[in-house]
Each structure stands twice: as C-alpha cells, then as structure tokens.
Amino acid sequence: MRRAFAAAVAVLPLLGAAVVRGAAAQDASPTPPAVAGASPSPITAAPAASPKPKASPQPAAAPAATRLKAADVPSPEAVPTRRPKAVGPKPTRAARRPARRRTPTAAPVPLPRLVRRDLGISFVSPAGYKAVPADRLGAGLAYACTGPNDGGVAATVHLLVQPAPPGEVPPGFAATLAEKLEAAFPPAAELRVVSQGETRVAGVRAAVLSAALSVRGRRLRNCQTTFSRGGRRYLFTFTASEDAFGDRVKAFFGLVESVRWTE
C-alpha cells in the first residue's frame, strides 16, 4: 500500500507537466467540432508553419560606363559622303569648259637683206634705220645708214671697204686699229679707248674696238669691227650719243652678226 502510494506520488509531477503542455496547446489551436456518438477527447493539432517571406527581386546592376577614346569616334570629315548623281545627259568637255579662241599672232616680218655682190657681202640693216643715198656718201664709204636721234646725235652705221692682203686680220689687230683711230682725231677730241679685243664674223677673225670721244662739245661713243676676206678689208663703225650708246649698240651687233658672204 505504501509502495503504491509512493508510485502514484512520483507520477504526479509528470502528469502535471503533460496537462500543462496540453492546456497550452489547446489554447493555441481551435477546438474541432464534436462528433456524434464519439467520446470527446482532446485533440491537439500541430502548429501550422508560417510561410517564408519571398525574396524581393534585386534590381539589375547598371552596366559600367566605358570611356571612348578620341580615335574611336569617327570625325565628320572621315565619313565619306556621296554626292547625288546629276539627272540628265552627261555634259561633254565642250559644255564643261568653253573653248578659248586663240588670237593668231602675226609672225615678225623679216628685215630685208642688203646684198652687195660687188663687195662680196650681204647683211641686214637695223630696224628703223634709213640708208643714206649713194650720192651723199663720204669718200671711201660703201654704205651708211642713220637711226634714232638722241640729243642732236643720230645713231650712224658706216661701212668702209679697202683692198687688203689675202687671209684674215692678224691677231692683236685691235691695237693697230686703236692707233689709227687716235691719229685720226685731234687732241681736242679727248679720245679714249674703252676696250679692245677679238671676235669672229661669218667664220673669220675680227678685231673689235670701243672708244669714247668728244666732238664739238658732245660726248660720243664709237664702236668698230674689222675683218678681211678675199683680198678685201671690211670696217663697220657705229657712233651714237654717250648716254644712249648702251641701248643703241645692240642694233649694231645684230647687223654684224647677220653678215654673210655672197661668193
């Protein structure tokens, strides 16, 4: 009897704990409806699991901005542009560029060549020079012509032809020519030899002399060219004012260069 009582007393705490747990569960869950013919028995329902909250979608990360280099960006000039094609027939070259009319230039009229077969020579007188009539030529002169007048002094060309030994003029003949020229003028002429030398005329040796002098108070310049061929000695002289000599003497050089032989 005492053992049974002790056992019952030992079970009481366990029973109380169970009753407490059942009461707590009954208060938390609803009581099911009674079933006819069934003895009421306490039914404890397991607590329903609460739904887990769904994770909200995270916004997608924006792509990182990339820096463009100047070389990667095409410039407007580098982009080729096409021109619209012209509508209509293709223009010809004549329509593109009008033809230019060329004015024909007149060929220079050659100066007449003076042929002196009696002297075995021919040459071309300077342009604008007028020949002196034969009846007005000085003694020993074969030809003369006059050109522009500068300060009362007309540019003048003379040709003197004399017999001479066969062959050409000897080398250094310009010095002999200078001596003869100085002897022909008085000291008042103040003759001064400027230059002397040699050249070739129509294939033969020629002596050249240039001098300055004063005649009747006027300063003059004189140029002489002499050469020999076929037993004749030809002496061309040119005289002009000292101021205009540099321009006028070019016409004289052209005359000398035009000399040709007729035999």
Cβ burial of 2 (10 Å; 0-12, 13-18, 19+) is: exposed
Mean model confidence pLDDT for the chain: 76
Predicted confidence (pLDDT) at residue 53 exceeds the cutoff of 80: no
CA distances from 109 to 51, 89, 112 (A): 125, 49, 9
What are the distances in angstroms from CA 208 to CA 83, 124, 186, 195, 205? 73, 19, 22, 8, 10
**Residue 196 falls in which region: left (phi positive, over 0), alpha (psi -120 to 50) or beta:** beta
Model confidence pLDDT, tens digit, residues 203-214: 999 999 999 999
Q: How far apart are the first and last CA of the chain?
A: 193
pTM here is 0.59
- 170, 227 contact by CB (below 8 A): no
Name the pLDDT band for 88 (thresholds 50, 70, 90).
Answer: low
Reported CATH class of domain 113-261: alpha beta
Identify any residues that bridge with 219 across adjacent strands, giving them in sequence order: 214
Check residue 223 and give its pLDDT: 97
94-142 pLDDT per residue, tens: 556 666 777 666 555 567 899 999 999 999 999 999 999 999 998 889 9
Q: What is the mean pLDDT of residues 63-81?
A: 53
- Give the domain ranges of the chain: 113-261
Give the pLDDT score at 30: 45
